[in-house]
A and B are shown apart, each in its own frame.
Chain A
Amino acid sequence: MRWISIGLGLAVTGVIGFFAVRELLIDPLYFFELFLGGLTRGSIYALIALGYTMVYGIIQLINFAHGEIYMIGAMTALIVASVLGLWGWNTAVIAILAFVFAIVYSCAYGFTVEKIAYKPLRHAPRLSALISAIGMSLFLQNYVMLAQTPEYLPFRTLIPDFHFWEPYAHIITSVELTIIITTVIVMILLGILIKFTRIGKAMRATAQDKVMAALLGINVNNVISATFVVGSATAAIGGVLIACHVGQINFFIGFLAGLKAFIAAVLGGIGSIPGAVLGSLVLGISESYFTGYFWSEYEDVFAFSILVLILIFRPSGILGKHDAQKV
């Protein structure tokens, strides 16, 4: 069995490698463009997937309302940018304030959602919290639809076309460049937060053993809240960036984005932060190549097929730890 899977894996890798090299030689620019497109998409998935994976790492909950936090971030940025735009403020100031407000609002929502929907259920069966998360997701979607509008809203980009970038704009747009750079910065900051700060240490301790952490004097409730806040902040950044990229938002954008990011998190090994980033990049880049070289009709089918395949051979994801758990 073991030799069969290794052989199969090698065969698949070989076939993919052969086609990749062939396409690279035929049209290197196109190959590279698709790679960058996939990198952008993967970066966005990664910003959202982090929230899923961090929350799962700490309280073993799939926070299905996370996609909605991303949507609320984008909505807030749109409202702030429109109001400040009416007052005629400077574009750079608007962009910064829109980001700040989006992050603050999303964090507030993430924090509140945890307190209302998950904290009372912390000792209930896992399924109850999961249902609560799905309910929260539906609630937030419908709340935004009723409080704002069901229609698509134009989102005028906060990131202008950089003049110095004009010669390369046909390969990768200024917005895409910003997305990739921002994601890298956020990842580095998050790494520092988790590795070197007190709260990061507390998060790791809580993830390993909640009871022991509490016995040692860590306020577990605060750590869990902090995890939701950090996850929401990265989702808000993702929300604003992708809204700048596609130029429109509505109440429903969180669903598909959240679903894809969730797949990415599972792909990389849910609970693992490097895994979420790796899973997102693998998903984004392979989707991009699939659309570019095969048929975009089956892009989602392909994304889910990768998930199924990886879970057959590595049930806990690419970088996941082995322990049998039910979702």
Chain B
Amino acid sequence: MKSLFKVIAVAVFSMIVFAAPGFAADTVKVASAGVISGDLAPYGISALRGAEIAVEDLNAKGGILGKKIELLVGDDVCKPEVAVNIATKLVSDGAQMIVGHVCSGATIAANKIYKDANLLIASAASTSDALTFTGEHPNFFRTIANDGAQAILMTDFVKNELKAKKVALIHDKGDYGKGQMELVRDNFEKMGGVEIVLFEGVTTGAVDYSAIVQKIKRSDAEVTMWGGYHSDASKIVQLLEKKRVDTTFFGADGIIGDNFTNLAGKYAEGVYATGPNDTSGNALYQELSEKHQKKYGEDPGTFFHNGYACMQALAAAAEKAGSLDYDAMRAAMFEITVDSPLGPIGFDEKGDVVGAGFSVYKVIDGKYQQVN
């Protein structure tokens, strides 16, 4: 009995060892990586679905360079350490270009692997300045405007439209949130006329935020700006309201979308946030939204159209270069203009998108509506 058990155990393990992936020679393997489980999943799933539908559309037209596209999917749960493992796995699975990741911290960590493997990466959602301004990520492109552009929009709006004199800057200590608030702080300092009364980080997922809310109240900030994601933001917004603190809450694209308005409910009313331009007038945009509705039975998420544009851009670069060679494709990325759902877009020498930007939204009647 015992030896039978051993034989079975050995058999099972050897199956695991020998179950190597079969190689299909004539497909182009594209990997889509990002956060698709955990509390930030809505962001990653929206980008992934964009890539999925783009792959379907491209395959219907014959794929890339005459080869069909095969999509590999990786989940980094928004953690840099997991992202590195996922990137290694995708590269060893034979990925030839990458759409992703979503969280900036994860993208920065994973890109060490992609850069060494000479792969182009296009992200739908990573907005950190570190990705394009430091020159350390020459293989990186994105279809969303960077935090720098977003920070300028935020500071201008707070100063000129909201006419605030005192602002509190709160962040979640992460790459994305803290980076965003540091840019905002630098911009305010350059512009002058607005006093930063508070610059603080909070622990994500903490039991209670009442102390920081009291602190915001004591600082008399007219506007409280938030760098981080929607779940902590909604806790803070609720406590601000419950403690009757008179301040306007202003976030970045981390709190844009229905996730935030659903979570915060009535407390979301009047909250400002910046997010990608509303390009819903674009014909392709509308067509894709309908496809998404048909395929998944719901409205597209925040980064769906950006994800679609990433896949389009990579495919267009490969076609233009005439091969999947890294240097040829990278050179082609700077020359292409893509008719994307975000309008015609291209890329500047740093890898940032040209032709897609941010606007300011406000929650009115439970929905984000564009105000500028």
Contacts and interface: CB of A to CB of B under 8 A. Distances in A.
Interface of A: 27, 30, 33-34, 37-38, 40-41, 44-45, 150-154, 156, 161, 169-170, 173, 175-176, 242, 245-248, 250, 252-253, 256-257, 260, 287-289, 291-292, 295-297, 299-300
A151 B41 contact: yes
A82 to B, nearest CB: 13
A297 B173 contact: yes
Quick one: which of A40, A156, A253, A299 has the most chain B CB within 10 A? A299
Interface in B5-29: none
Given A37-B211, A41-B208, A253-B205, A30 B218 contact: yes
A246 B208 contact: yes
A161 B244 CA distance: 12
Interface residues of B, number: 38
A248 B211 contact: no
Given A154-B262, A247-B264, A297-B201, A37 B218 contact: no
A176 B211 CA distance: 13
B263 interface: yes
A206 B239 CA distance: 44
A41 B208 CA distance: 7
Given A151-B42, A156-B265, 6 more contacts: A44-B207, A154-B265, A176-B210, A242-B207, A256-B203, A256-B207
B208 A245 contact: yes
A37 B200 contact: no
B208 A40 contact: yes
A295 B211 CA distance: 11
Interface in B177-212: 200-203, 205-212
A245 B208 CA distance: 8
Contact of B202 (A34, A37, A296): A296
Interface of B: 37-39, 41-42, 173, 200-203, 205-212, 214-215, 217-218, 230-231, 234-235, 238-239, 242-245, 259, 262-265, 267
Contact of B210 (A37, A151, A248): A37
Contacts of A296: 200-203, 211-212, 215
A291 B211 contact: yes
Contacts of B202: 296-297, 299
B263 A37 contact: no
Contacts of A295: 200-201
Contacts of B41: 150-151
B207 A41 contact: yes
Given A247-B238, A292-B215, A151 B39 contact: yes
Contact of B238 (A153, A246, A260): A246
A194 to B, nearest CB: 26
A22 to B, nearest CB: 16
A34 B239 CA distance: 14
A245 B215 CA distance: 18
A256 B210 contact: no
Nearest to A256: B205
Contacts of A245: 208
Given A250-B39, A295-B200, A33 B214 contact: yes
A250 B205 CA distance: 10
A34 B209 CA distance: 11
A325 to B, nearest CB: 28
Given A27-B218, A296-B201, A288 B207 contact: no
A173 B242 contact: yes
A175 B243 CA distance: 11
6 contacts: A30-B214, A34-B211, A34-B214, A288-B211, A291-B211, A291-B212
Contact of B214 (A150, A246, A260, A292): A292
Given A151-B42, A292-B214, A169 B208 contact: no
Contacts of B267: 247
A38 B213 CA distance: 12
A82 B252 CA distance: 31
